[in-house]
A = this chain, B = another copy of it.
Amino acid sequence: MTVEPIKLTVDTVALAAQEGQLEIVLIRRKHDPFKTMWALPGGFLHEHDESVEQAAARVLLEETNVGDVYLEQLFTFGDKHRDPRARVVTVSYLALLRQDDLKLIASSDASGVAWWPVLDLPKLAFDHKRIIEYAHQRIKYKIEYSAAAFSLLPEKFTLRDLQSVYEAVLGRPVDNRNFRKKFLKLGVLQELDETTQQGSFRPAKLYRFDQKEFEQLPDRPVFSF
């Protein structure tokens, strides 16, 4: 009896924080199985001259036109029947997109690529729902002890922007005053000489994330609110 080789794929959960909620890039499948259903951007790892992570980056670029993003391996899903056709093991990744990156994505049903709120997903192909839940949990934890939030923001941002990212990811409101106090004390925010000008209210100071200062912090700094 000849045994089919096990196939390897990569699938990426690409997240962004938009208007206070967490959103994910999904693509509409053009082929069976699960034709016309929504799924994670992903594909087979057939190239032999790239690492698994490079494959994830390549596939994400090919399918959604998003490149140069924060990318981190999540988990490898290898249940027996997760693909109805054959034995397929997938290595999943988490990508964090800045608001700048959003424009790159032609977000329309017609193009087959669209943003969906993580808390209100459509029916998904394969075990992709489970992969998204895993990613959601990961980013929730991660934002409390890493600089992940800054991968979801443009270079310059206000304290409100930063807080909105935390609220989007954690899925709950955060106390304004304690948030600001704690973050400023950490010393990882570089205050700029600029402010937001638009808007009909008081302009807010702009900040930049200070990578150097961040690296001075202890092993697992605590950004919990």
Contact = CB atoms under 8 A, between A and B. Distances in A.
Given A53-B78, A78-B91, A141-B220, A48 B8 contact: no
**Copies of this polypeptide in the complex:** 2
Interface in A52-93: 52-53, 73, 75-76, 78-80, 87, 89, 91
A199 interface: no
A76 B79 contact: no
B48 A76 contact: no
A45 interface: yes
Interface-centre pick from A5, A6, A45 (highest chain B CB count, 10 A): A6
Please list the 9 inter-chain residue pairs (A to B) with the smallest Cβ-Cβ separation, ordered nearest first: A52-B78, A5-B5, A76-B76, A76-B91, A51-B79, A6-B8, A51-B78, A48-B87, A51-B80
A110 interface: no
A46 interface: yes
A184 to B, nearest CB: 24
A50 interface: yes
A220 B76 CA distance: 23
Given A45-B6, A46-B3, A75 B78 contact: no
Nearest to A6: B8
Contacts of A73: 75-76
A135 to B, nearest CB: 15
Interface of A: 3-8, 45-46, 48-53, 73, 75-76, 78-80, 87, 89, 91, 141, 220
A114 to B, nearest CB: 28
Nearest to A78: B52
A6 B46 CA distance: 8
Nearest to A4: B48
Nearest to A92: B76
A80 B49 contact: yes
Contacts of A45: 6
Q: Which one of A46, A48, A76 has the highest number of Cβ atoms from chain B below 10 Å of its Cβ?
A: A76
B91 A50 contact: no
A8 B220 contact: no
A48 B89 contact: no
